[in-house]
Amino acid sequence: MKNSIRLNKMKFYAFHGIMKQEQIVGNTFIVDLKLYVDLFKASETDNLSDTIDYAEIYNIVKAEMAIPSKLLEHVAGRILRKIKKEFPNIETIEICLTKERPPVEGEIESAAIEMSI
C-alpha cells in the first residue's frame, strides 16, 4: 500500500535512558511516524471518520513519551502497540525515535532507532 499519513518531528522532553543522570535531567526526543492506511474513502467523502485523526495519534505518542524507560526500543514498541491497538485499520506503522545529544564520549548530534509493526 502506498497511502500513508506522516507525523514528522514531534518533539518531546522526556526522561529515557540507562544512565541515572538521563533519568534525572532528561533530554529532547524527536518522533517521526509513518502510518500506512487506506486513504481513498476519505479522499472521496472529506470526512474525518474515514481516515486517521492525527491529533489522536499525537496524543498517544505524547502519553507514551511521558512514561520513563531505559531503552528507546521500549518506548517505540509501546507507541507502536498502542497505536495498532487503537487503530487496527492501520496496516503498517513505522517509527523513528531520536535522542538528541546522547551521553557518549565524543561529538554526536543524535542517536535513533527505527521499528515497524
Q: 65 with 14: CB under 8 angstroms? A: yes
pLDDT for residue 31: 98
Does the global pTM surpass 0.75? yes
Which residues, other chains included, contact 77 with Cβ-Cβ below 8 Å and sequence gap of 6+? Answer: 115
CATH number of 4-116: 3.30.1130.10
Q: How far apart are the first and last CA of the chain?
A: 14
The domain locations on the chain are 4-116
Q: Which residue numbers are catalytic?
A: 99
Distance CA 53, CA 89 (A): 12
**For the segment 90-101, what is each residue's pLDDT rounded down to a tens digit?**
999 999 999 999
**For the segment 45-103, what is each residue's pLDDT rounded down to a tens digit?**
999 999 999 999 999 999 999 999 999 999 999 999 999 999 999 999 999 999 999 98
Q: 33 with 93: CB under 8 angstroms? A: yes
